[in-house]
Structure 1
């Protein structure tokens, strides 16, 4: 069985193409969205999803979130005594989605289409693929998130030639893609974005605002990690409230004192002006790279939870001089598109054949030298071989010459990026090849880059004069250590994980504990009594009584702080 997965910064989800339609797969709590959060319980057992996220403000040292932002890096997160790489944390989320899918579908799930931000570079894509493998999945394809959203919108079913722009602002990443459909072909004309821009950055504005308002009262604790996690949770709640109201209160309790500020939509938009300005450049670049103007687009499609913010929708409306489309569910469009792609992979008869092309999101090239002033040589210059937004699969070649008389070898550093200097781009590898002696510039070396739909990069270097050839396939170091991959997979599988049927109870307890710390006085005592009562029912081990008590607890908490959100 093959499923589609949206591995998100804030939330993740899984879906399947079955009986001629997309089915979104519920988790053990009955929700479609699973928070991308991993944590440890008090007994050291693993928590994934809502229960982990609810403990983030009360147990920050035992909880990890937003780790998608660090995919492809060596940044480690310490949870208790164990250290985890970003792809290992992502693998734990993927493993939970896999288990939920198997429980829902009643059969093993072995393959997946996993979505990635269109602007993910080679290292980030390989880390995502590795996360899938660590979770026990064969990753059939990495699908760009805006392309998945376009499939969910239904442009694969349109017959007329049309062009769309997908504006995808999620919790931690921002993508823009321009797509064109003609004669059953969906072609991505251009993709760009910002991997460090999303709803979390708008939350941070509110966090900074409350800190500034209560700097004296908070004193040295203003940057305390535990306080920061509480501030971030309060900011998320306030930001969501501002999508439906003109003003919202943001409150946080710290050391038995409650600190509050009131935020209006005008205040929020003024504070967010620099972030809103950052949304414009990727849009302009995507249109410029695609050779299109705003009037050439039939529709602007909004995707991603952060596009619910009225200030973002107003910004998009001003950019294009018209209202964007909100026809697709902002949180579910990407996973729905991944499920459709999974259906296409399995060649489901209910899906008509569609050809999808994508683009290389970054330029690929080598480091070269060029003459400088007074006979000097400037080194470390980036020379693109495949330009960004080239339709893939693609193969391009460039001819280079030797730098010095009687040079014996040429070394090409392989880079990915857009900067003029290779030091500011991502280094992917190196190719060395011997050359025959000769005058500088007279010995030619052909360097060919090939790039496929899954982001596999192959470099072929040829010296025509001697027919000497060197080839390099860009493979991540971790991919080469298959035994290490198996060991890591076994280590993750050996972690103590709570049974799925206890998830709801653990999430309820985690939420009640968070509320206990959030409130003061009689309200705190009331929450403590509710929690003790529920824990007493749990000890009785009567499933029916536990179900009733849990619903009573959640209803009481909803009355105190509003409904829980995903």
Structure 2
């Protein structure tokens, strides 16, 4: 292990136009290296502001509000010259300013209040430095060596610029390998040893590249390469944006090109639509308030998208676009396009494995990659004609000689690269001084002496990695010779490199200081947030109120202060420690909580509406009297509170037992669980759920009765093999494979010769049963995965003959396992999973915890979609109320179908949990969004559209006879540009009830509760309207530039409480105060 830690790793870097990926070959496998945010790809984007610079995902997020200082598409900018038309076309599609320096483009940015002009090399070095830092953080050791990808169409000058950028970033580049060659190298490592010819088609965001290669044993011979650096996914995205701009102008007669924010939002929506079209036939673009308050809704279909290729003469699209696959297939005589490797990771994986070979991590066998010259190299002949000596696509290393005819008066021999007929259209590599050949006397002789021509032999020798070359010129008789080395990679001078490295060190120092400040700020914010949450649960007393006010003042001070040093954030921690100690003392001395009183009153309300045996009426009267005493005795001694509390708990337990007797044998738990709140029309699958709950009552209550446990399924023996799983041929009566069996099939395949097949075990199963495993690659090349099941005649690919298609459709029912049918179920029936049945999900994150359950983010192992999962754990702590909450939310969500409400995908039970699956997974809740919007004009502008969205959703719910009963910012999520209402756990369906007379327990958060709810009086849907109005006032406060903390402080000074129901006069005063805050155009939301 010590040797591994000391090892100097070599990495592969796929420096893409849109994204950069990094990988390393370690322990026999390629590992993708995540960025600081945990993503396997880092946006190739750099943003500058008054505090410093940010790189990657944080930089891309600044496109919304800092577009002129956010730079992207740098690799496309690198080879452009200021005099060319390509640069002008590039400038039209980017928001940042581009200038000129020595014939090359430079970018203007505002960095920490200073204007700077940065070269493309400097900007690319920043991205490479961040890639290097990510690798070092992942590997735990310094990284110095790397292989980096370049487009085949890059000239030696552009490749040299990449090398210069890497040197500035502190990397030693062993080789700049064309990306398509790296893909071929990776495919060679997984495709076997037989000889085969392959075509690699690589279409990314900035370029389109193709290579032809022959693979044999451990030799990769590149036959030819071609590419276009000005054609890629970015071009199709730009064309789609232009088409939607035209559509908006046609609809509304408004030109949105002048609105940069609107174009940015439209571009984001179009990018998402292109991704959707990779797997769907139609995608929707829906943007609220796109321009001047006007909404935009459009539909893009595959056929529409394919029409954009009519004017593209060669190729277009992206590798995932079905039309591109069709064009390639047609071009190569109907041969199926193969995509058996991950299109995002194949290039960087090939680079990582090649880097490992260079680093002696892969010693046997030694793979040999024979690359080709991307552009022809020649000399300038008479009349400025390009005389090629080595043609493009020549395998390197290579050496070739040609005779060149020059005029005797020629002093220099100029060497160029390119494919154009005249050297003025090619790129000069070097000039060789011919003085030593003494073609004529340069000092004083008559010029006629030098008339005529001379024939010279020119030899060019190019190294295998194309870093260096040698040009030799000699007279025809070989008596005199001139030699000159060609530096084919390094372009900047040593002084320029050192200057840029010094600048990079200064940038990094500022970045590190800003990172430390952010971590300190995050630590302080987290500590304040935890104390803010805890303060609400403190027992009521004057000290608790003072502590609460101190925390709010502290947060306001931190939010409004410009703290510059890390120590400025660390010093307040001691003050927070003192506050926390005071909070602990309050808990110990005053055990009765103010919020408990409200809870007790709600319990009393519930008991009053329940059927209590006559013998317990006296307990109820005593219980009521004690609650009243607690409410009227705020200054009693703590010991007296404790004594009264113990008696109160005693009475409550007796009453709870009386109202919640165990069910008889003839009863079902479903009757108790659904209660009158669920109505008499409970749906069939809810009944199934309650029956399952009843059957599993011992699990919920904590009983250990052995007769109530479910039998465990026998585990597969260790000797099980892939062959044993298929030992019995398919029969019409055969039961489907289980999800556990598919897990094992997938494991066997991943560990076998065709590891990629492990991602589609169901497809493998069907094709194996019908004897057509040869068609696996064809299916996968068409992007077909297990989620496509069940197939029909129209969805089966043409790779199978008609007779085999019939066999496929007949056999496919064997793959319809329980987990698969649950994923595909459109009727959202409740599913039951036994103890040994694997769930078709994996947890990828935690989202939060509520009063009745927790919420996490899960990803389907079948479709790879992400869901929010709300789970209720079956344990001794699970109350009947928790089960009732689960069923309430299940039934309500089944009825909800609105763009601004979360959508139910399904529900299930297993021996440990009940669970709901919903989408989308929010980026933030609204309370978190307040803090993020404070310094973001883009988010503030977006928040203005939330009013109408939430009001519309509330109107829909009430029209559907649903009352939410717990509207608050924490139950409203923001996903991209959408706002959605969530958490219907205590929602009320009054479809079969009298909605104006209910006083049932609401479980609301009292800060946003309406006055009638707090007084435990009759209420209806107007209580929701009140709560939403409270949220609207908070949103208006943030939009006006104030903070919710300031508003609560004003409320607290008026009434010793910041709850809205206790501050009806304070609300009016606060609204009037907001009216005087600019901009006054926002006052309409206060009316």
TM-score (norm 1): 0.80
Of 969, 974, 980, which aligns to 1:556?
A: 974
Q: Report the Cα offset of residue 255 of structure 1.
A: 3.9
- Partner SS state of residue 165, structure 1: strand
Equivalent-residue separation in structure 1 for 2:932 and 2:415 (angstroms)? 49
Distance 1:201 1:511, change over 3 A: farther
What pairs up with 1:75-224 in 2 under 5 angstroms?
A: 75-80=105-110, 81-155=115-189, 158-215=192-249, 217=252, 219=254, 221-222=256-257
Contact 1:184–1:355, Cα closer than 8 Å, also in 2: yes
Query: Is 1:71 equivalent to 2:489 in the alignment?
Result: no
More off after superposition, 415-424 vs 152-161: 152-161
TM-score, normalised to structure 2, is 0.43
1:490 to partner: Cα distance:
1.6
Shift of 1:557: 1.9
Secondary structure in 1 matching 2:21: strand
Q: 1:414 maps to what in 2?
A: 415
Which residue does the alignment assign to 2:864? none
Alpha-carbon distance between aligned partners in 2 of 1:135 and 1:274, rounded to the nearest angstrom? 41
Is contact 1:156-1:186 (8 Å) kept?
Answer: no
Contact 1:72/1:125 (8 A) holds in 2? no
Tell me the distance in 2 between the aligned counterparts of 1:224 and 1:149: 41
Classify the secondary structure of the residue corresponding to 2:318.
helix
Cα–Cα, structure 1 residues 557 and 181, in superposed 2: closer, same or farther, change >3 Å?
Answer: same
Question: How does 1:448-487 map onto structure 2 within 5 Å?
Answer: 448-455=459-466, 456-465=468-477, 466-474=479-487, 478-479=491-492, 481-487=493-499
Q: Which residue of structure 1 aligns with residue 700 of structure 2? A: none
Distance change >3 Å, CA 237–CA 37, structure 1 → 2: same
| Contact 1:458-1:471 at 8 Å conserved across structures | yes
Residues 213-222 or 111-120, more deviating: 213-222
How much has 1:108 moved relative to structure 2? 0.4
Shift of 1:472: 4.1
Pairing 1:55–2:68 present: no
The runs of 5 or more residues in structure 1 that have no matched partner are: 281-304, 370-378, 527-551
For residues 20-59 of structure 1, the C-alpha deviation after alignment (integer angstroms, 9 at most, x for no partner) is 1111111111111001111024x33211111111221332
Give CA-to-partner distance per residue, 1:487-522, whole Å, 9 cap, x none. Answer: 2112122122243996998x9889975555457522
Cα deviation for residue 250 of structure 1 reads: 2.9
Structure 1 equivalent of residue 945 of structure 2: 521
Q: How does 1:162-311 map to 2 (within 5 A)?
A: 162-215=196-249, 217=252, 219=254, 221-222=256-257, 225-251=260-286, 253-275=290-312, 277-279=313-315, 306-311=318-323
Q: What are the residue-to-residue correspondences of 1:324-335 with 2, within 5 Å? A: 324-335=337-348
1:122-174 deviation per Cα after TM superposition (whole angstroms, max 9, x unaligned): 11100111111111101111111011112222347632221111100011011
1:22 aligns with 2:22: no
Equivalenced residues, count? 497
The Cα offsets for residues 258-286 of structure 1, whole Å up to 9 and x where unpaired, read as 334322211111023333x3228xxxxxx
Contact 1:55–1:511 (CA<8 Å) still a contact in 2? no
Query: Residue 78 of structure 1: CA displacement?
Result: 1.7
- Counterpart check, 1:390 vs 2:401: no
How far, CA to CA, are the matches of 1:418 and 1:137 in structure 2?
Answer: 32
In the TM superposition, what whole-angstrom CA distance separates every residue of 1:223-250 from its partner, at most 9, and x where no partner exists?
5555444433232112112112222233
SS at match of 1:95: helix
- On the 8 A contact 1:28/1:500 being kept in 2, the answer is no
- 1:346 maps to which of 359, 370, 376: 359
- 1:299-358 Cα offsets, whole Å, 9 max, x none, are xxxxxx931122222222222212211111111111111110111011124652111110
1:499 aligned to 2:515? yes
Name 2:551's counterpart in structure 1.
none
Q: CA 1:271 to 1:2, structure 2 compared with 1: closer, same or farther past 3 Å?
A: same
Please say which structure displays the higher CA radius of gyration.
Answer: 2
- Cα 1:266–1:516, aligned 2, differ >3 Å: closer, same or farther? farther
Distance 2:24 2:428 in 1: 37
RCO comparison, higher one (Cα < 8 Å, 6+): 1
Deviations 1:450-485 (A, max 9, x none): 222333333222234550414142467843x21221
Partner Cα separation in structure 2 for residue 40 and residue 399 of structure 1: 54
SS at the partner of 1:458? Answer: strand
- Cα 1:38–1:500 change in 2 (3 A) is farther
Question: How much does 1:99 deviate?
Answer: 0.7
Go from structure 1 to structure 2 and tell me whether the alpha carbon gap of 1:179 and 1:48 turns closer, same or farther (over 3 Å shift).
same
How far did 1:17 drift?
Answer: 0.8
In structure 2, runs of 5+ residues without a counterpart are 1-8, 81-103, 441-448, 523-922, 951-969, 981-1087
Q: CA 1:413/1:255 → structure 2, altered by over 3 Å: closer, same or farther?
A: farther
Q: Contact (CA 8 Å) 2:282, 2:301: kept in 1 or not?
A: yes
Two-structure CA RMSD over aligned residues (Å) = 3.1
Residues 20 and 350, structure 1, Cα contact 8 Å, conserved in 2: no
Distance, in Å, in 1 between the alignment partners of 2:41 and 2:190 is: 25
Distance 1:400 1:32, change over 3 A: same
Cα displacement (A) at 1:63: 0.5
2:350 equivalent in structure 1 = 337
Match for residue 713 of structure 2? none
* C-alpha contact 2:47 2:69 (8 A) present in aligned 1: yes
Tell me: CA distance 1:107–1:461, structure 2 relative to 1, closer, same or farther (3 Å): same
| Residue matched to 2:901 | none
- Secondary structure of 1:47's match? strand
Deviating more after overlay: 112-121 vs 343-352: 343-352
Alignment check: 8 A CA contact 2:357 2:363 kept? no
CA shift digits 1:183-205 (9 cap, x unpaired) = 42111010111011110011011
C-alpha separation between the residues in 2 aligned to 1:554 and 1:136?
Answer: 46
Partners of 2:365 and 2:285 lie apart in 1 by 49
> 2 CA distance for matches of 1:271 and 1:362?
30
Structure 1 contact 414–429 (Cα < 8 Å) conserved:
yes
Quote the residue 2:679 is aligned against.
none
1:443 pairs with 2:454: yes
1:405-431 CA distance string (max 9 Å, x none): xx2334332221111122222222322
Is the CA contact 1:445–1:462 (under 8 Å) kept in the aligned structure 2? yes
